[in-house]
Structure 1
Amino acid sequence: MNDSIVSILDLPNEILLIIFKKLNNIDLLYSFIGINQQLDNVICRIDFTRAIDLVTISSYETDDSKIDSILDRFCLHILPRIHEHVECHTIEACFFQCIFHTSNYINLCKLTLVNFEPNMASHIFHKKSSFIHTFEHQISHLVVMFIDNIPEATIDNLLIHNYVSIFALLRNLKYLELNVNDVYSFLPTLFNGVSPLRCFSPSIIHLRIKLNNFDDCLYLLDGRLSQLHTFIVNLDYIHDPSRMLPIPK
């Protein structure tokens, strides 16, 4: 009877590819990489390593120690094997340091940070940070999903600092989404007084952002985003158009 059993290791690479393409690539990498050279040659292909979404781990795993164990395996053993293929990373912001300090992502151009705390910006989006030094001209797509429990007393100052830093430091950024929970209401004219010399981008063509009202939109549409053609805004408040501020000169 045992003679009729076919091991996965007996299958040709063509069949393995068909099977593996039906699996989640994170599960695939975690479960099979490092078993033997044949499987590594198949699994480390760009098909399975181009887009890495490590947020999916916490979506189906609730044991913190298990999550840490999985992330350790990725950071120490898996990402160093595939880092040259990774073009798109989706990660929990709290794991940013361990993920980016273990590998050199020479082809990374898309990054999504989930549950991002605004005070993290001083370490990540800072002109002297290793991230900016490496990816200043490389990141073209950035999505930042802020945590839901930002201290309301500091939310405006924290977020405007985040916005200004991202605009100013990522020189090749074309697609930017800054997602903030609807429960927060910003002060009017969030960008009032922020000079176009501090907050501008000659490269952004797609922007999604949360603001207080149309006056804030006018500040961003005063020419500081010269290439913008898609502007998606979540407004706290829509007031009488007759009370709109004139476009600042």
Structure 2
Amino acid sequence: MVDVLHSFVDVNQRFNQLAFDSLYIHDLNMTTIMDISSLYDQTSLIDPKVLSRICEKVLPRIHDQIYKLTVEEYSINQILLASNYPKIYSLSLVNFHEVIFYQYLMDNLILRNLIKQITHLNIDIKETTEHCSEIGSKIFALILSLCKKLIVLNFCYMFPTRNYSPPL
């Protein structure tokens, strides 16, 4: 979706209609993750110029039409600062390091206010070691205290040693 928004917006009126079609922007995935195997080996990020253009020119135009949003650690600040998201009910936070995610929950008021309104929260913590730390427990407790409307919570640790074999 990132590439579509970057490539089609403001080319012409027809491309704008395609890029801003409500079927696509209700569930906005702002990650570079293409499939489950790339989730474990993710090293690429959204190009900073592309992300900046989307945050400046696209998100302010569609912010009130987004119901589901997926973001990753390296782009969350820009995406949250680009606009408010009054209709969002589902938030997926993927590819976060545990300590950094905890800092966001503690210090980022925009994120804290956003998660107060959501009913569905998906969190994928990317860790380099296969142990659950005390910070994980603190994250979980903080989420439960902040998310008063929460109905569904998926909290997952992603470890690099996990092997994924695609189905034949």
Q: Where in structure 2 are there 5+ consecutive unaligned residues?
A: 162-168
Structure 2 residue matching 1:76: 3-state secondary structure: helix
1:163 equivalent in structure 2: 140
CA deviations over 1:1-44 (Å, ceiling 9, x no partner): xxxxxxxxxxxxxxxxxxxxxxxx44332211112344324432
Corresponding residue to 1:148 among 114, 127, 140: 127
1:28 equivalent in structure 2: 4
Instruction: Within 5 Å, give how 1:10-159 maps onto structure 2.
Output: 25-56=1-32, 67-126=47-106, 129-136=109-116, 138-149=117-128, 155-159=132-136
CA contact under 8 A between 1:125 and 1:169: conserved in structure 2?
A: no
Structure 1 vs Structure 2 CA RMSD = 2.9
Structure 2 residue matching 1:120: 3-state secondary structure: helix
Closer/same/farther in 2, CA of residues 170 and 127 from structure 1, 3 Å limit: farther
Q: TM-score, normalised on structure 2?
A: 0.77
In structure 2, distance between residues paired with 1:79 and 1:52: 10
In structure 1, distance between residues paired with 2:19 and 2:108: 36
Per-residue deviation, 1:107 = 1.1
The structure in which a higher percent of residues are helix is 2
Q: TM-score, normalised on structure 1?
A: 0.54
> Which amino acid in structure 1 is aligned with residue 20 of structure 2?
C
Specify which structure has the bigger relative contact order, considering alpha-carbon pairs within 8 angstroms and separated by 6 or more residues: 2
CA deviations over 1:193-213 (Å, ceiling 9, x no partner): xxxxxxxxxxxxxxxxxxxxx
Structure 2 residue matching 1:108: 3-state secondary structure: coil
In structure 2, distance between residues paired with 1:183 and 1:48: 31
CA contact under 8 A between 1:141 and 1:175: conserved in structure 2?
A: yes
In structure 1, distance between residues paired with 2:110 and 2:29: 22
2:165 equivalent in structure 1: none
Per-residue deviation, 1:143 = 0.8
